Chain A
Amino acid sequence: MDGRGRRPRGHWWLPLAVLILIGAFVLGASIGPAGRITGANWHLIWTVRMPRVVLAALVGAMLSVAGASYQGAFGNPLADPYLLGVAAGSGLGATIVFVVGRASTSGWLIDPLPLASFVGGLVAVFITYLIGSAFGPTRSSLTLVLAGVAITSLASAIQTFVLYRNSEVIREVYSWILGRLSTASWRDVRLVTPYIVASCIVLLLHRRHLDILRVGDEEAASLGMRVGRVRLIVVVAATLGTAAAVSVSGLIGFVGIVVPHAVRMMAGASYRRLLPLTILFGAAFLILTDIPGRVLTHGSETPIGVVTAFFGAPFFIVVLMRRRLGNEASQ
Chain B
Amino acid sequence: MSSLTMSGVSVSYGRREVVHDFTCTVGPGEWVCLIGPNGAGKSSILRAIAGLAKHTGEIGVEGSPLRLRTSRRQAQLIAYVRQSPTLPSDMSAFDYVLLGRNPYVSYFGAETANDRDLVGRVLERLDMATFADRLLGTLSGGEQQRLVIARALAQEAPILLLDEPTSALDIGHQQQALELVDSLRREHGLTVVSAMHDLTLAGLYADRLALLHEGHLVVAGTAAQVLRAETLAEFYGVSVTVHNQDDGTVVVVPRRTASS
Interface residues of A (CB under 8 A from B): 1-4, 6, 8-9, 205, 208, 211-212, 214-216, 218-219, 221-226, 264, 268-270, 326, 330
Contacts and interface: CB of A to CB of B under 8 A. Distances in A.
Contact of B95 (A8, A219, A222, A264): A8
Interface of B: 50-52, 70-76, 78-80, 82, 85-92, 94-96, 99-100, 102-103, 105, 108, 110, 113, 116-121, 124, 129, 132-133, 137, 155
B71 A330 contact: no
B147 to A, nearest CB: 12
A6 B88 contact: no
12 contacts: A1-B124, A3-B119, A4-B113, A208-B105, A215-B86, A215-B96, A215-B99, A219-B86, A222-B78, A224-B102, A225-B71, A269-B88
Contacts of A326: 89
Given A218-B52, A222-B75, A330-B137, A211 B95 contact: yes
A99 B180 CA distance: 68
A8 B51 CA distance: 33
Contacts of B76: 224
Contacts of A264: 90
B112 to A, nearest CB: 10
Given A2-B117, A223-B155, 15 more contacts: A3-B113, A3-B118, A8-B92, A208-B110, A215-B96, A218-B82, A219-B86, A222-B50, A222-B75, A222-B79, A223-B100, A224-B103, A225-B71, A264-B90, A326-B89
A269 B92 CA distance: 9
A219 B82 contact: yes
Contact of B120 (A6, A208, A214, A268): A6
A205 B155 CA distance: 22
B71 A226 contact: yes
Contact of A224 (B71, B85, B108, B117): B71
Contacts of A269: 88, 90-91
Contacts of B71: 221, 224-226
Contacts of B92: 8, 268, 270
Contacts of B132: 6
Please provide the 5 A-B residue pairs with the shortest distance between their CB atoms, ordered closest to farther: A224-B75, A3-B120, A3-B116, A224-B103, A224-B72
Contact of B88 (A4, A214, A226): A214
B94 A6 contact: yes
A222 B71 CA distance: 8
B129 A223 contact: no
A215 B148 CA distance: 11
Nearest to B101: A223
Contacts of A224: 70-76, 102-103
A287 to B, nearest CB: 28
A4 B120 CA distance: 9
Contacts of B87: 215
A2 B120 contact: yes
Contacts of A1: 120, 124, 129
Nearest to B87: A215
A269 B89 CA distance: 10
Contacts of A211: 91, 95, 99
Contact of A205 (B73, B108, B120, B137): B108
A101 B7 CA distance: 64
A6 B102 CA distance: 18
Nearest to B124: A1
A127 B241 CA distance: 56
Contacts of A4: 113, 116-117
A270 B120 contact: no
B119 A223 contact: no
A9 to B, nearest CB: 8
Contacts of B96: 215
Contacts of B89: 326, 330
A120 B141 CA distance: 46
Contacts of A270: 91-92, 95
B52 to A, nearest CB: 6
Given A3-B120, A330-B89, A223 B52 contact: no
A223 B75 contact: yes
Contacts of B90: 264, 268-269
B117 A221 contact: no
Among B87, B88, B124, residue most surrounded by chain A Cβ atoms (within 10 Å) = B88
A316 to B, nearest CB: 19
A330 B78 CA distance: 31
Contacts of A226: 71
Given A8-B95, A224-B71, A215 B85 contact: yes
A6 to B, nearest CB: 5
